[in-house]
């Protein structure tokens, strides 16, 4: 389905991003993935094979994302799909959150998405169109105590995505955001175990991304809420 297409997936060295990179590769796309941890990136490069390039690029750094986009263009001839997936969660009451923690969440989850879009847009336009898919969270709509920074960052991603969608749709660039509920990953240093069986799998989010990019040109599902179908009952 995606033969000849080129994708960039930020935060593609584990979790949802890695599953998304694998799913796009399975559909025939070439993929550039990013992350920070060099050893993990080397292992991912080995696992994904020659139609993928794993590059060290911190989404907080615009120049690094320009470099990742340039890698996609130089190695595979262009860019068609950007998945802004890299994100972090730091959870603390506002009264106890340091300025550095706040800044880290906002720079990664919000500025990181801007950086990816800003770096990719000229090349998506040069291709005559493409996709930008931003990985948000249901936390953007369901705020909770201790989640002020994270929930605000993801709500910002939603608004950013909707504005950008209207700016670039006439260039053939479709912008969507996906709001997953709990996903079984190592997010926030979590160690997945038997208690996580009810959660979404990273593959479920990856499948949503693949489904989105398979939509006919005339249609744009611009916002997807993806929930675990049977979460624990609330008492
Ligand atoms: N897990 C959930 O329950 C859940 C639910 C809803 C939404 N989400 C969202 O889904 C996205 C992926 O989450 P996940 O659960 O897959 O997380 P994860 O397992 O913690 O993986 C995060 C990925 O992002 C990369 N990353 C982190 N900071 C980065 C930065 N500054 N620059 C580049 N890469 C960076 C990590 O690279 P390194 O390995 O190098 O650190 C890793 O590849 C996030 O945006 C998250 O907010 C997650």
Domain ranges of the chain: 6-226
Nearest to 223 by CA among 180, 182, 178: 178
Show the DSSP H helices in 27-141 as ranges: 38-48, 62-76, 99-106, 112-126
What is d(CA 140, CA 5) in angstroms, rounded to the nearest whole number? 31
Q: Is 225 a pocket residue for ligand 1 (Cβ < 6 Å)?
A: no
Chain centroid, CA 38 distance in Å: 19
What is d(CA 3, CA 5) in angstroms, rounded to the nearest whole number? 6
Q: Whose CA is nearest to atom 36 of ligand 1?
A: 11
Angle between helices 62-76 and 112-126 (to 10 degrees): 30
| pLDDT of 124 higher than 90 | yes
How much distance in Å is there from the Cα of 87 to the middle of ligand 1?
Answer: 4
| pLDDT of 126 higher than 80 | yes
Q: How confident is the model at residue 125 (pLDDT cuts 50, 70, 90)?
A: very high
Task: Identify which of 15, 40, 134, 189 to mutate to test ligand 1's pocket (most ligand atoms within 8 A of the CB).
Answer: 15
Asked whether the beta carbons of 81 and 24 are under 8 A apart, the reply is yes
Architecture of domain 6-226: 3-Layer(aba) Sandwich (3.40)
Q: Which two tokens stand for residue 152?
A: 């605000």
By the 10 Å C-beta count (0-12 exposed, 13-18 middle, 19+ buried), 83 is classed as buried
| pLDDT of 73 higher than 90 | yes
Mind listing the pLDDT tens digit for each residue in 170-219? Answer: 999 999 999 999 999 999 989 999 999 999 999 999 999 999 999 999 99
| pLDDT of 167 higher than 80 | yes
Where in the sequence numbering do the catalytic residues fall? 150
How much distance in Å is there from the Cα of 184 to the middle of ligand 1?
Answer: 12
| pLDDT of 234 higher than 90 | no
Task: Identify which of 33, 83, 86 to mutate to test ligand 1's pocket (most ligand atoms within 8 A of the CB).
Answer: 86
Q: Which two tokens stand for residue 183?
A: 């996903």
What is the chain's mean pLDDT, rounded? Answer: 97
- To 5 degrees, how large is the angle CA 134–CA 143–CA 227? 55
Q: Is 35 a pocket residue for ligand 1 (Cβ < 6 Å)?
A: yes
Q: Is 86 a pocket residue for ligand 1 (Cβ < 6 Å)?
A: yes
Q: Is 228 a pocket residue for ligand 1 (Cβ < 6 Å)?
A: no
Q: Which two tokens stand for residue 112?
A: 């990181």
DSSP code for 11: T
Q: Which two tokens stand for residue 13?
A: 């060295």
By the 10 Å C-beta count (0-12 exposed, 13-18 middle, 19+ buried), 138 is classed as middle
Mind listing the pLDDT tens digit for each residue in 87-118? Answer: 999 999 999 999 999 999 999 999 999 999 99
Q: Is 133 a pocket residue for ligand 1 (Cβ < 6 Å)?
A: no
Average pLDDT of span 9-27: 98
What is d(CA 108, CA 88) in angstroms, rounded to the nearest whole number? 7
Q: Which two tokens stand for residue 128?
A: 């005559």
Q: Is 107 a pocket residue for ligand 1 (Cβ < 6 Å)?
A: no
Q: Which atom of ligand 1 is nearest to the CA of 33?
A: 43
What is d(CA 97, CA 201) in angstroms, rounded to the nearest whole number? 30
3-state SS, residue 136? coil
Q: Which atom of ligand 1 is nearest to the CA of 205?
A: 10
pLDDT of residue 37: 97
pLDDT of residue 235: 72
């Amino acid at each position: 389905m995606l033969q000849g297409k080129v994708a960039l997936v930020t935060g593609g060295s584990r979790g949802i991003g890695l599953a998304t990179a694998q799913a796009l590769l399975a559909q025939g796309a070439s993929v550039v993935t990013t992350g920070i941890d060099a050893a993990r990136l080397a292992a991912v490069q080995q696992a994904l094979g020659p139609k993928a390039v794993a590059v060290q690029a911190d989404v907080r750094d615009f120049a690094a994302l320009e470099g990742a986009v340039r890698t996609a263009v130089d190695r595979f001839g262009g860019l068609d799909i950007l998945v802004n997936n890299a994100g972090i969660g730091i959870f603390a009451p506002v009264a106890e959150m340091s300025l550095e923690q706040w800044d880290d969440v906002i720079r990664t989850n919000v500025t990181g998405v801007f950086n990816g879009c800003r770096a990719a847009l000229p090349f998506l336009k040069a291709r005559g169109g493409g996709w930008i898919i931003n990985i948000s969270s249901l936390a953007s709509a369901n705020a909770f105590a201790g989640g002020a920074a994270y929930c605000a960052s993801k709500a910002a991603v939603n608004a950013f995505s909707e504005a950008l969608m209207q700016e670039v749709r006439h260039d053939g660039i479709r912008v969507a955001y996906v709001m997953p509920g709990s996903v079984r990953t190592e997010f926030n240093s979590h160690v997945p175990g038997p208690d996580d069986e009810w959660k979404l799998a990273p593959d479920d989010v990856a499948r949503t991304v693949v489904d989105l990019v398979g939509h006919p040109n005339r249609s744009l599902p611009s916002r997807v809420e993806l929930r675990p179908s049977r979460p624990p009952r609330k008492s």
